[in-house]
Structure 1
Amino acid sequence: MLVPGFWLGAWAWDAVAAELRAAGHEVHAVEPGHEPEATAESHVEDVLQALEKAGPAVLVGHSGGGPVCAAAAERARERVTRLVFVDTGPLPDGVAQVEFNPPEAQEWIRSRIAEHDGVQPMPTRAEFARLGTSTEGLDDEAFAALHARALAEPAGAILTGARRATPDPSLPKTVVACSFTEAQARELIAAGVPAFAEMAGPEWSFAELPTGHWPMLSEPVALARLLLRLGDPV
């Protein structure tokens, strides 16, 4: 089960899903709600509803979908066989995605939401560079195509956090590191950075796929093969 990050729809997984299906696996891509009232919690409910119909499954969350998947997996543990974070990770209970950014970036994000009547349009390539988000692997044409299809993200999805339960150490969890390395993540784990500290448990593993923040678009075949190598039904 594939969950996209901010500004994306289920279409973002098309190339990855095609590879997985060609290998004989059933694949479901979740379409998180982009209605104005959407929140982190409503996105968790979107994933839970999909799991109810399709689980048990390997649950794969990209970017802003990662914390959503973490919360969903804790509430539907029996329907998740592995949790995969693609260039992302979990956030503590109630912590909003915006809080993962430094103060100046938080201020900019909030101002953009205020300027656009409660939604944040997808940033431009230059704006992503200033935010520290890598667009490596996407040439100008590919990024333009991504940007043209992007959906404005509702404020509630960005400014609110999901309710967390106690993480289950029996659930295998893998981080696919694309715009950062395992070594960098390990340093942040050791430093106790909240978004990474949880990854210290023995149930966590890392797999590196060096590219930018959107590997499902820049390296879809490699990402699909990596998911297959994890060894669980996808």
Structure 2
Amino acid sequence: MGNFVLVPGAWLGAWAWDTVAAELRAAGHDVHPLTLSGLAERRDTGSWAGQQTHVHDIVDAVERRDLHDVVLVGHSYAGIPVGQAAELIGDRLARVVFVDADVPVDGESFVSGWPGGAEVEASIAANGGSWPPLTAADCAGQGLDEEQIARIVAGSTPHPGATLTEPAVLARSLGELPAVYVKCLLDGPEPPPAAAALLQHDSWALLTLDTGHWPMFSRPRELAALLAGVGAA
């Protein structure tokens, strides 16, 4: 069995993985959900955090716990620090999984690679350097029921703005990594262009889930089963 390191997307903490983690543990896996600096229960310890802070959070969690055979999972924004961390942990990595995620591009930031990047930057500037947390309207049309939406909104915290505006740093092509991209179809049928390009590499595979952008809430058991399958491959 591998070690699953689960990294949530913007605004969320380790708590977002509770049901997925429970399913994986019940199947005999070791699971390590992370909260990145400046978010959730770590909100008061890293509001200053930049993107490399989040990369370090992930690498440190793997190395401090001396984890091997790591299946490193990043959702949404977290794909950017996860992709950078994946190449830094070297032979500890078994596979990296991007769940409806952005992927890092050397020299590019989250906002520079996102169609709504200018609006995100303006929102960060207007809100004291943080990206304001999710609202119920942001979650509409993503296969979530009212209880699931309420849980996401209640648990969301402002996201440190510098993590979204600082550029990624890659030493080599992510195409060299063993990787899986999971596309959540209610959020659009195709991966973003940077991920689509990487999926041309033989070491990358594409899987789909018939749900929205937050599958750890809308389809946690299906997501856990998918991840378990990836870990066993």
User: TM-score per shorter chain, which class?
Assistant: 0.7 to 0.9
Contact 1:33–1:46 (CA under 8 A) maintained in structure 2: yes
The 5-angstrom pairing of residues 80-95 of structure 1 reads: 80-95=93-108
- Residue identity over aligned pairs, in percent, reads 39
- CA 1:54–1:9 in structure 2 vs 1: closer, same or farther (change >3 Å)? farther
Correspondence 1:145-160 to 2 at 5 A: 145-160=151-166
1:162 aligns with 2:198: no
Instruction: Determine the C-alpha separation between the residues in 1 that align with 2:175 and 2:205.
Output: 12
Alignment of 1:84-123 (within 5 A): 84-102=97-115, 105-123=116-134
The code of the aligned residue for 2:160 comes to P
* Cα shift readout 1:4-39 (whole Å, capped 9, x = no counterpart): 110000000010000000001110011100122111
The 2-side partners of 1:40 and 1:22 are apart by 33
Per-residue deviation at 1:181?
8.6
CA shift in 2, pair 1:66/1:118, >3 Å: same
- Shift of the 181–122 alpha-carbon distance from structure 1 to 2, 3 Å rule, reads closer
For 1:64, what is the secondary structure of its paired residue? helix
The runs of at least 4 aligned residues of structure 1 exceeding 4 Å deviation read 180-183
Is contact 2:143–2:186 with CA below 8 Å preserved after alignment? Answer: no
Deviates further, 166-175 or 64-73: 166-175
> Corresponding residue for 1:21?
25
Which secondary structure state, in structure 2, belongs to the residue aligned with residue 49 of structure 1?
helix
Matched residue pairs, number?
220
Shift in CA distance, 160/207, structure 1 to aligned 2, threshold 3 Å: same
Letter in 1 for 2:67: G
Partners of 1:135 and 1:12 lie apart in 2 by: 19
Structure 1: 5+ residue stretches without partners:
none
Cα distance change, pair 48–231 in 1 and its aligned pair in 2 (3 A): closer
Deviation string 1:143-202 (CA, Å, 9 cap, x unpaired) is: 1221111010011111112211213655320011113699734xx6xxxx3353222100
Equivalent position of 1:220 in the other structure: 220
Q: Which residue of 2 aligns with 1:196?
A: 196
Structure 1 residues 219 and 60: CA distance shift in structure 2, 3 A:
same
**Equivalent AA in structure 2 for residue 17 of structure 1:** A
Q: 1:141 to 1:55 in 2, by over 3 A?
A: same
SS at match of 1:201: coil
Aligned mates of 1:208, 1:157 — CA distance in 2: 27
One-letter code aligned to 1:142: Q
Distance change (3 Å), C-alpha of 1:10 and 1:54: farther
Q: Is the 8 A contact 2:183 2:189 kept in 1?
A: no
Structure 1 counterpart of 2:33, one-letter code:
A
Q: Of 26, 33, 37, which residue of structure 1 is paired with 2:37? A: 33
Residues 1:138 and 2:151 are matched in the alignment: no
Tell me, yes or no, if structure 1 residue 55 matches structure 2 residue 67.
Answer: yes
Higher RCO, 1 or 2 (CA under 8 Å, sep at least 6)? 1
Aligned-pair Cα RMSD in Å? 2.1
